[in-house]
Amino acid sequence: MERKRVIRTLITFSLLAALVAVIVVSQNRDPSNPHTSVSKDTWIHGPKGHGYAVLNNQQPWKQCYTCHEKKGLGGEAYCQSCHDQSGVKVDIPKKPS
């Protein structure tokens, strides 16, 4: 009888610890950010990161700007300020009129 009680107690504490771990990990994620599962360094410098997205998305006003503006970051000005800080010289595609 005592053995079953010890096993049940261990299982209960294990499940409680797992629940706490899931809650802590989930608090650090933003479900509306598609880049949240990738570290910032990998996103900026990785082979399937920012450069890949830019080369394969020549219409940032459709995808990037709207999301960045919703986050309060700004659109084209946000991209340009980051490029200026990092010393990157690029021409950001303009939205056709």
Where do the structural domains in the chain lie, given as residue ranges? 2-27+40-86
8 pLDDT above the threshold of 90: yes
What 3-state class would DSSP assign to 92?
Answer: coil
CA distances from residue 37 to 5, 17, 31, 65, 75 in whole angstroms, order as listed = 40, 23, 9, 20, 22
Across 39-57, average pLDDT: 77
pTM of the complete model: 0.47
* pLDDT confidence of residue 91: 77
Q: pLDDT tens digit string along 17-31? A: 999 998 887 776 666
Q: What is the largest CA-CA distance in the chain?
A: 78
Across 29-46, average pLDDT: 73
**Cβ-based burial of 87 (10 A; exposed 0-12, middle 13-18, buried ≥19):** exposed
Region of residue 56 (left: phi > 0; alpha: psi -120 to 50; beta: else): alpha
